[in-house]
Amino acid sequence: MSLLQAASEGPALIVCNTCRWSADEREDAEGVRGGARMFEALIEAAKGDDRLAELAIEQMPCLFNCSQHCSIHLRGPGKIGYVLGKFEPTAEAAKAILDYVAAWLESAEGVVPYRQWPEGVKGHFIVRTPPPERVVVS
């Protein structure tokens, strides 16, 4: 059995669906993980947003950033990608993430000027990741 399955080849926001609900609880009162709630919040917030038409929002278990839940990974062809974390699974966090993603989609190589960053993503970047067949030079 393979650990991998096909996903979008285009720009994608990949959400860890197993991240904790909080520092004290893995799941909310309904038994749902924080990461699954984050995925739901992002899907809801993206509805009808034309800026995100080419974006796939996908989910997978554990991005290995568990201590900084909730975690997401942004990636796309020819663009620098990012892992972000330390989000609460809320509509407000989802909106900030998607406002950032909209600017990232418009960028040539995945670099969004800091002045365009929504407040809600500042302090949430964990690592940047080079796209396939590229490395970053500065």
**CA angle, 14 then 26 then 44, to 5°:** 40
Residue 126 touches ligand FES, criterion: CB under 6 A: no
Q: Which parts of 8-27 interact with ligand FES (CB under 6 A)?
A: 16, 18-19
Q: Strand 56-60's sheet: what is its strand order? A: 56-60, 12-16, 72-76, 79-84, 125-129
Residue from the set 13, 21, 35, 72 that interacts with ligand FES by CB under 6 A: 35
Name the minimum Å distance from CB 14 to ligand FES. Answer: 11
Q: Which is nearer to ligand FES, 35 or 120 (CB)?
A: 35
Residue 127 touches ligand FES, criterion: CB under 6 A: no
Q: What are the structure tokens assigned to 112, written together?
A: 């969004």
Counting residues that bind ligand FES (by CB under 6 A) gives: 11
**CA angle, 51 then 86 then 57, to 5°:** 35
Q: CB of 55 within 8 A of CB of 14?
A: no
Q: Which is nearer to ligand FES, 107 or 129 (CB)?
A: 129
Residue 65 touches ligand FES, criterion: CB under 6 A: yes
Q: Which is nearer to ligand FES, 14 or 102 (CB)?
A: 14
Q: Which is nearer to ligand FES, 71 or 93 (CB)?
A: 71
CB hemisphere CA count around 57 (13 angstroms): 20
